[in-house]
Amino acid sequence: MFKDNLKLLRKKKALTQKEVAEQLGMTQQNYQKWESGKSSPSGETLERLAEYFGVSIDFLLSGESPEHSVPITRHQARTLRLYGLRKEAKLTIEEVAKKIGVDPELYRAWENGDKAPGPFDTPKISKALGVTTAYLISESNYRTENEKIEAENEKVQKEFIEEIENIDSAKSRNKVKKRLNRLFYSLLLAIEDVGDKEDYKELASYIFEKFDTINENINKK
């Protein structure tokens, strides 16, 4: 848990709460709230804390390395994404707030985690920062719809190829024919639904070549 990790890291450095607070340019009272779990730092402050203690943000939040990390809360994830996306877009809080049409102090409160955007504000923030609403609220790891579609298409392509490899290694002639016919029909439907067929020419060429090889093997049996 964040508050326990923060306290542990401070004690390892043999520092008092006051000393850490002074290094971060804040009051001891505000810092103490983090260690007691009464409040959470903003995304920007998390970054500063991680840098100060010489650990990653992931380690600071979970106490483990990224490959063994535990999920952070949705509230923490949204706070980090608001901050990270704004910095990535090289926008100030005032500039983002203007794009959304809200007071800069309100946006600052969202980014600091003091308040949460409402259902009508979230889509506006997503648009201003160039991501999907699902990504912003941590319900998806895909930033844009195109990114999601590309990932889904890649998965389907992989499934097609795996299925073909399975057919090619099958022993029963009838079983091969049935699976081949089913896959061939599915492939035709898939290609028909794809808007930009140029992207699939290479894959389709590979699959049809495989079909020819499988058919030749069947006829030899």
CATH architecture of 74-141: Orthogonal Bundle (1.10)
pLDDT digits 0-9 by tens, 111-120? 877 788 888 8
- Asked if 76 contacts 40 with a C-beta cutoff of 8 angstroms, the reply is yes
pLDDT digits 0-9 by tens, 72-99? 466 666 776 787 788 888 889 999 999 9
Distance, CA of 150 to CA of 154 (rounded, Å) = 6
Domain ranges of the chain: 2-68, 74-141, 146-220
pTM for the whole structure = 0.46
Q: What is the model's pLDDT at position 65?
A: 43
- Residue closest to 215 by CA, chosen among 159, 170, 185: 170
- Residue closest to 221 by CA, chosen among 179, 185, 187, 172: 172
Q: Which residue has the higher pLDDT, 215 or 83?
A: 83
Q: Do domains 2-68 and 74-141 have the same CATH topology?
A: yes
- Asked if 85 contacts 144 with a C-beta cutoff of 8 angstroms, the reply is no
Segment 55-79 shows an average pLDDT of 59
pLDDT digits 0-9 by tens, 131-148? 888 888 777 777 787 777
Superfamily of domain 2-68 in the CATH hierarchy: lambda repressor-like DNA-binding domains (1.10.260.40)
The mean predicted confidence, pLDDT, of the chain is 75
Q: Which residue has the higher pLDDT, 122 or 213?
A: 122
Segment 67-72 shows an average pLDDT of 42
